A and B are shown apart, each in its own frame.
Chain A
Amino acid sequence: MLEINDLVVRRDSKSPAVLNRISLSVRRGEKIAILGPSGAGKTTLFRTISGFLPILSGSVSVDGVEVSGLRGRRLRNLRSQIGMISQRHDLVDRLGVHQNVMAGALGRWTTVRALRFLLRPTPSELEEARRALSRVALERKLRSRTSDLSGGEHQRVAIARALVQQPLVLLADEPVASLDPILSGQILSLLCSLANENGFTLLCSLHQPDLAYEYFDRVIRIEAGKIASDEPRQPASSSAVEVAVGA
């Protein structure tokens, strides 16, 4: 599903490598936690997989498609297969919740349809947004302003957007970094259950080892741009809580 071989990424030609000869093989439907201190290269890894950063050497392929060298429509097609959510506020606050959610469909829409949706969404499009929001228990917020959402709701709308995108791989970059422990557990539980239901591969970067071992099949540690360890979940912590988010 996702194959990374000897990947080297630098910020510029003179700086040291942010990712240094990383190799990784991920199966379809796997749920992987990526642990590591700030600056270890977790975000760089995700941005490289999505084609936002140039690859100095090595290779990254998603579902058999080589990321390096992709441009224009082919790069957009690849990105539409890779969902991304992050700790950062990556929703557009001035758009409505339904507009942010349906932004997940931009990769498969024409520009004319995208512009028409901003002005006059059809009932079926609104229904699709409502369905995605109901999966994250936020359907009541369909017509709300994004700026009125709380931190946790913000993150769940980002997840709903990723669901509308129907990705093969979902990259969650520290999705619970700014949330309290209870909400963090709810969000991770939700992400894992959605990955199970939809069959997408989930890569999630975290700072908290306890959460990583509790919710994910496999835990990879990155330190100074290199993979320090790659191990399956410890049997003792297999009691992942199935929390009904917002219920």
Chain B
Amino acid sequence: MKLFGKTKTEDSKHQRVLRELIKAVGREKVLSAIEDRICYSYDGTKQKALPDIVVRPGGTSDVSNTLKIANKYEIPIYARGAGTGLTGGAVPLMGGIVFDLKSMNRIIEICPEDFVATVEPGVVTKDLQDEIAKFDLFYPPDPSSAAFSTIGGNVAECAGGITGLKYGVTRDYILALEIVLPDGSVINTGRKTLRSVTGYDLTRLFIGSEGTLGVFTKITVKLIPKPKKIETLAAYFSDRDDAIDAADLIIDNNILPRTLEFMDKMTINAVRSYTGTDIGEDVKALLLIDIDGTEESISHEMPVVENACKENKAFSTKVAETAKEREAIWAARRSISPALYNIAPHKINEDICVPRSKIKEILQKVDQINEHQTIYIANFGHIGDGNIHVNIMYNDDPGQAELAESIVNKVMREVVAVEGTISGEHGIGNKKSQFMELEISPKELAIMKRFKSFFDPKGIMNPGKMFLS
């Protein structure tokens, strides 16, 4: 499939495609120098594969014209937002054309009276959040990459984030999409209304489709009123199970925190030695809880939350009311990523999700799997959703990478056994396609593949992702 082949015919095919693309979208939007191709060869997984051409479309018609050419010559094509994905979604595994959709980054309209906004896919999620905040509105999905990932990428992977328990994930806020199909035709799914049940829900089929079905060119999102106030509580435990019980009790009290984050002992140790924070040596688990709402609702809910922690043997709790205090507490959570690299230079960051009642069980299983191993596993994440980031840290010693992979394999099996899912928010990409069959039965897999071949009969859209074959 590689375009840069040795044979003469392939070479001239490459030249023809390049000529046609330049004619269709303009010379300045088509990059083919090796320096540019290198810069679009990777994503957040550190995998690399060189594309042959990078197209920076200026609008829907550029995307459509490019897809027509790609379809005609059967050239693989990959939609790329900011290239921050964690499962390889934007990596051009089979060469071909990468769309750099960062070039389509206009906020087309914000309709405060309708609670909707329509944007191009290259808008950075936080830029959208900041813009709508001016109208006192709120777009909740908040993946930790929100400040640099794009809304298009978020929709393609159905990104989650720390506000999922109370507010849901990306899928819950997408009302309508403009999509260019592989043959270059443009479809519109959904309506700009807060509800619509006309026909099949094609919008949801495309959310989380990881660029394997079509390319989004316009995205209409739902907005909600912005909570007036946020207060943060940190609770410290000497036992992991106590923290999990406390999280359960908070929710049992009919309180849905804006965020309910958990960190285990290994994570805390890493953060402590990295940042030198004053988290005591005896802290073996911690919960980080944001409550949002009005002054009144928070003053009612925060004591309940604090009590739930104390009832479950939290030996210390800390409430932050000012932005500065909140920032200090959250700094620990934010430093996890760099801190973990102090344990070992390589990381496999899994994003398993299990029913909340199975969290204790799955963490015990993870402990057992790693019992006699030389590999460190740090667990943290969105405990309210049951979405735990299992981080398998390994070094360069021979056999370590294989060992890490085998641990991932075992963890995935246990997750599926407790009716969990292998990916809560990162997507499948090529990194997890080998585990698809664990969770999805052959029959459902066959249905998915029929959808795929219906929309993309020539298989040019993001080949090598989602499915093994």
**A, B from the same assembly:** no
